[in-house]
């Protein structure tokens, strides 16, 4: 669940708040929890919903710039370390619209099945597949830009 929240919001105070709020909400709703879904699935769905709410509070169309560096510049700084690669991936994920980001985080990063992803997000399987395809294309374009920028130096 923590990876889901950090994948959606980045390693921020918002992510910590959403993580805590997820468990607070579960604690208050324990009597209503019927065990129809696995506990991890249930908590992930709550975390995704809270993450989406947190993202809505942020400026929707703002592209995050880490100290005025783009993802491509960050990649050029030092591509040899896993930390930098992780930052590039996190930056790219943050540039995806929340609907696409949630599908990527749940399906690809968390490893849930397409059906589980659809159930968690409350959308049809076809929508999961469509969003996943579009998100992967956008990420591919971002990473191709990174490669071309690095190759021009």
How many independent structural domains does the chain possess? Answer: 1
Domain of residue 7, CATH code = 1.20.140.160
**74, 91 contact by CB (below 8 A):** yes
Q: What is the pLDDT of residue 61?
A: 37
Spell out, as residue ranges, where the chain has pLDDT lower than 70. 58-83, 145-153
Q: What is the pLDDT of residue 126?
A: 94
Q: What is the pLDDT of residue 143?
A: 76
User: Which pTM does this prediction carry?
Assistant: 0.59
Q: What is the pLDDT of residue 75?
A: 45
**9, 20 contact by CB (below 8 A):** no
Residue count of the chain: 153
Both ends of the chain: CA-CA distance in Å? Answer: 40
For residue 138, which of 105, 104, 113, 87 has the smallest C-alpha distance? Answer: 104
**38, 31 contact by CB (below 8 A):** no
CA–CA dist 28, 70 (Å, integer)? 41
CA–CA dist 103, 84 (Å, integer)? 23
Domain that residue 131 falls in:
2-151
Strand partners, 66: 69
Q: What is the pLDDT of residue 81?
A: 56
């Amino acid at each position: 669940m923590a990876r889901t929240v950090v994948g959606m919001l980045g390693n921020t105070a918002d992510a910590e708040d959403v993580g805590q709020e997820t468990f607070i909400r579960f604690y208050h709703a324990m009597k209503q929890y019927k065990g129809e879904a696995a506990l991890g699935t249930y908590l992930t769905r709550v975390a995704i919903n809270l993450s989406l709410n947190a993202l809505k509070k942020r400026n929707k169309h703002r592209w995050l710039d880490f100290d005025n560096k783009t993802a491509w510049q960050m990649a050029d700084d030092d591509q040899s370390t896993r930390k930098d690669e992780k930052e590039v991936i996190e930056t790219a994920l943050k540039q995806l619209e929340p609907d696409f980001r949630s599908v990527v985080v749940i399906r690809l990063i968390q490893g849930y099945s397409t059906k589980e992803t659809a159930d968690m997000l409350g959308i049809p399987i076809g929508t999961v597949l469509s969003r996943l395809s579009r998100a992967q294309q956008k990420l591919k374009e971002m990473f191709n830009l990174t490669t071309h920028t690095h190759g021009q130096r």
